Structures are given as C-alpha cells and as structure tokens.
Amino acid sequence: MLSESESPEWTIRKFRLGYADESQDVLHLNYTSWPDHGVPTVNAIESILQFVHIVRQQANRTKDPIVVHCSAGVGRTGTFIALDRLMQHIREHEFADILGMEQYVFIHQCVLLMWQKKKQQSITSDVIYENASKT
C-alpha cells in the first residue's frame, strides 16, 4: 500500500500491484457508510454526493478503467452509477429545460412509475418462467 486516507464516511487507498516486471498503481475509493441492503441515511446524502464528486474527479484524471462494485455487485453498485450519471448530466446541462420544482417532481414520479412497472414485469415474467419449467 502506497497511501491511505480516511474520513468518517470513506477511505481512499493507493496500491501498487505487480507481476513479473510490470506494476500498476490502483486507486481504491471505498464508501464505508452505505449499509448492505439499504441506502445511506438522510444525514449522509451530502457525504455520498461529495464522494461521487471525488470519484468523478479521479475518473476524469485518468484514462484507466473505473470499476464500481459493492459486495454483491447489484443494488448499491447500480445506485452509485445512476447517481454519478445523473450528477454528470446536471453539471453538463444545468437542468436549463426544467422550469421548476414541480417539473422536477413530475420527472421523478415518472421514473418511479417506470421502475415500479419494470419491477412488476420482472416478477410476472419470473412466475411465468417458473410455471412453464415445472410442466
């Protein structure tokens, strides 16, 4: 390990990995305040936004690949990636086309409904597949 810095919500480590005559530095950014099977508390929202910003800054400084992964590879991983993409979009476009809070809430409600329908489709298709495989 080359370096390590800790904050209450995350740890940043720099490693040097090597094999034979080659080595590669790896920057490991670990958000530690995100519970498994849940989301950070409302009090941690500012912290997670700051962490996403730090990760994005690091990503913009390198051409190396960025890997995002939680223990299972789903849930927190997808949530983090979606948050990063939304924050990038907001920075690039500044929501110039959205006139106010009412329209922002409407967009959120549309996305929520889309997610609920997709989740229901997934459950329904799982049941059909399960029934078909039993006969």
Q: Give the residue numbers marked as catalytic.
A: 70
Element (H, E) at 106: helix 101-134
Element (H, E) at 24: strand 22-31
The residue to which tokens 């009090």 are assigned: 43
Q: What is the residue-wise DSSP string for 58-70?
A: HHHT-SS------
Cβ atoms 28, 12 nearer than 8 A:
yes
